[in-house]
């Protein structure tokens, strides 16, 4: 079985789209793949309840519990790696996981770690992508699924979706339009990777 682990920090709408796709499109029978665990660094993340509704195991590794260590980020990631590795995943999927990961973590999951970013990379890496697109007068915005490397939002591109930036768009309105496309391309990118694994 090809195990998939999803990391979240909040509501997990992309996670929900992936879980729904895995059921509707029968990943278990088609790809011998299943989502074995959803892990959150926030104890009360709403997405944990959604995962439970899909009968997927959940775990919590709170980054705040490592504040007293000399290197809190490293200790958090070491614990997170232990929890993830228990599932022996072929893919680790970041779905609104709001932590910048160290090269140590990224290297540990080389070629297994993927993310979705709300811009047409390589444009607008980092935060506030929609506001920046509007401010720059872009006619188009979008989302990108990419492999994660130690350089933030710079990994190889797997999928992209384009949406128009309309006159009068606010950051929130544009974000909502992009999100509908994220929910389409993220499951598709995962399916393509699973298909390549044979």
The gap from C-alpha 63 to its chain's centroid, in whole angstroms, comes to 17
Question: Can you tell me the distance from the alpha carbon of 117 to that of 94, in angstroms, rounded to the nearest whole number?
Answer: 10
Examine the residue annotation and report whether 130 is marked as an active-site residue of this protein: no
Question: Can you tell me the distance from the alpha carbon of 168 to that of 165, in angstroms, rounded to the nearest whole number?
Answer: 9
Give CA separation, 83 vs 34, 55, 59, 133, in Å.
17, 19, 8, 37
Question: Can you tell me the distance from the alpha carbon of 88 to that of 86, in angstroms, rounded to the nearest whole number?
Answer: 6
Question: Can you tell me the distance from the alpha carbon of 143 to that of 129, in angstroms, rounded to the nearest whole number?
Answer: 10
Which one of the listed residues 63, 108, 117, 130 is annotated catalytic? 117
Structure-token pair, residue 122: 């390589």
Which residue from 48, 36, 23 is spatially nearest to 93, judged by alpha carbons? 36
**Residue 115, exposed/middle/buried by CB under 10 A (0-12, 13-18, 19+)?**
buried
What is the per-residue DSSP string for 6-59? Answer: EEESS--HHHHHHHHHHHHTTHHHHHSEEEEEEEESSTT-HHHHHHHHTT-EEE
Q: Which residues are tagged catalytic?
A: 117
């Amino acid at each position: 079985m090809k195990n998939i682990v999803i990391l979240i920090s909040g509501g997990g709408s992309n996670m929900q789209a992936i879980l729904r796709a895995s059921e509707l499109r029968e990943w278990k029978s088609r790809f011998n793949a299943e989502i074995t665990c959803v892990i959150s660094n926030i104890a009360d993340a709403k997405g944990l309840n959604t995962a439970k509704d899909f009968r997927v195991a959940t775990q919590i590794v709170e980054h705040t519990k490592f504040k007293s260590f000399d290197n809190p980020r490293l200790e958090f990631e070491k614990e997170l790696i232990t929890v993830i590795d228990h599932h022996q995943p072929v893919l680790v999927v970041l779905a609104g996981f709001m932590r910048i990961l160290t090269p140590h973590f990224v290297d540990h999951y080389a070629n297994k770690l993927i993310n979705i970013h709300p811009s047409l990379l390589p444009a607008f890496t980092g935060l506030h992508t929609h506001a920046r697109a509007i401010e720059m007068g872009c006619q188009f915005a979008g989302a990108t699924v990419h492999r994660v490397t130690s350089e933030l939002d710079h990994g190889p591109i797997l999928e992209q979706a384009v949406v128009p930036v309309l006159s009068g768009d606010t950051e929130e309105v544009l974000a909502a339009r992009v999100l509908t496309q994220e929910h389409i391309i993220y499951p598709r990118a995962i399916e393509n990777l699973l298909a390549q694994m044979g």
